[in-house]
Amino acid sequence: MWRNIASNALTIFVVVLFLLGGLITLLKSQYYKPGPLAEAICLKVEPGSSMSRVAGQLSVQGAVTSQKLFHVGVDYTNKSGDLKAGSFLIPAAASMAEIADQITTGGRNTCGTEVVYRVGVTRTTVLVRELDPATNAYKEVVRFNPADDAIPDAYSRVVTLNDTRMRVAASEGTTSWQVVEALKSIDILTGDIPEVPAEGSLAPDSYEIRTGDLRVDILSRMALAQEGRLADVWAARDDTTPVETIDQLLVLASIIEKETGVFDERFQVASVFANRLDKGMPLQTDPTVIYGITLGKGPLGRGLRKSELRSDTPWNTYVNRGLPPTPIANPGLASLQAAVSPTETDYIFFVADGTGGHAFAVTLKEHNRNVAAWRKIEVERNQ
């Protein structure tokens, strides 16, 4: 009898174990399969929130089929204690596992409100934007110039919120002085900047910031990024590289950056300067003359005078042959790459073509035709 009881108990245990295994398999498949969201949503996790509360939010927003299963799955994968505060873009059909990964790793806001402090070559602009989860595109809420405009309420309201993403975006071709002045104008940053970093030493890019960050720390991040770019680009150079040192690379790249904002043109512009350097010709580039006047402290704001083209400043490449003594701006990665690997051409000249790009020429006769065409466009535009 005891043998029968033991046998029956064993059978029941095996059946229960089998059913339990099947249940676990079913629950795991539910946890990892695509979710019910028809379109993306922005999930806001408040500081101090619990995983149980977030599971409830997800259920209300239709992102999970089972609030309880989501909570159990997070516990099972040991993620319950890793919840991050912030705003998270949950894509359409995201599984519970994918959602759990998003809200427990990284810690950077991927949706909601964004404040961008855009450092440009002519002005600094502050933009407040909202991400539309359905289109994954930002919609501008307000834009203002902190130097001239009153601070909008739309900015004051969001800049103090914990889930607002904030970043500094420095454009290619900005000078170190412009970056420093922009950082000084950002009210959420702290600390003094004892000196302006060397020209060309800051990498134009986008940098995440938080309220209370030190201004000098942001400059350090920018300088470290530029050092890394320079090292990588210099290591990839070949025998055709027209410069002999990293310092010369930075100077040439800064001139290329100021001459064109068209990505594909940078390598052609670089070829003109490489050919001129090879032939011992002066570079004759206006941005270097402008830098000799402004020293990078903002745009000139007018056209160059003939007397200025003849002025003997160290940066005047009409008067002096070779490269100027320092960079004239902070070049981006593409200009650095163009400086070490210019396109092989016979071009010696270029001039604006009216489309935002340039017309290139091998001979002075061709160049004069291109200049005449550009002058005609200028006259027509000014009528």
Average confidence (pLDDT) over 331-348: 94
What per-residue confidence (pLDDT) applies to 281?
94
pLDDT in tens, 20-61: 555 456 556 677 878 788 888 888 888 888 888 888 888 888
What per-residue confidence (pLDDT) applies to 61?
87
Residue 17 has pLDDT above 60, yes or no: no
Q: Could you tell me which residue, 17 or 365, shows the higher pLDDT?
A: 365
Task: Extract the tokens encoding 30.
Answer: 């539910």
Count Cβ atoms below 10 Å from residue 269 Cβ, excluding itself: 26
CA dihedral 297, 301, 305, 309 (to 10 degrees): 40
Q: What is the largest CA-CA distance in the chain?
A: 116
Count Cβ atoms below 10 Å from residue 58 Cβ, excluding itself: 26
Share of the chain above pLDDT 90, in %: 46
CA dihedral 173, 113, 92, 58 (to 10 degrees): 150
Highest mean pLDDT among 1-10, 69-78, 331-340: 331-340
Highest mean pLDDT among 30-39, 98-107, 267-276, 299-308: 267-276
Nearest Cα to Cα of residue 326 among 336, 314, 310: 314
pLDDT in tens, 258-269: 998 888 899 999
pLDDT in tens, 113-145: 899 999 999 999 999 998 887 777 888 999 999
Q: Which residues partner with 227 through β-bridges?
A: none
Ranking 9-18, 182-191, 319-328, 330-339 by mean pLDDT, the lowest is 9-18
For the chain, give the mean pLDDT. Answer: 86
The answer to whether 118 and 207 have CB atoms below 8 angstroms apart is no
What per-residue confidence (pLDDT) applies to 70?
84
Q: Could you tell me which residue, 283 or 354, shows the higher pLDDT?
A: 283
What per-residue confidence (pLDDT) applies to 21?
54
The answer to whether 301 and 268 have CB atoms below 8 angstroms apart is no
CA distance 204 to 202: 6
The answer to whether 119 and 189 have CB atoms below 8 angstroms apart is no
Q: Which residues partner with 118 through β-bridges?
A: 125, 169
Nearest Cα to Cα of residue 185 among 249, 124, 254: 124
Residue 113 DSSP SS3: strand
Any alpha helices (H) in 121-214, and if so which ranges? 153-159, 176-185
pLDDT in tens, 159-187: 888 778 899 999 999 999 999 999 999 99
Please give the single-letter amino acid code of residue 250: L
CA distance 260 to 258: 6
Ranking 221-230, 247-256, 271-280, 371-380 by mean pLDDT, the lowest is 371-380
Show Cβ contacts of residue 285 under 8 Å, excluding neighbours closer than 6 positions.
255, 258, 259, 273, 317
pLDDT in tens, 200-245: 999 999 999 999 999 999 999 999 999 999 999 999 888 888 899 9
What per-residue confidence (pLDDT) applies to 39?
80
Residue 354 has pLDDT above 70, yes or no: yes
Please give the single-letter amino acid code of residue 378: E
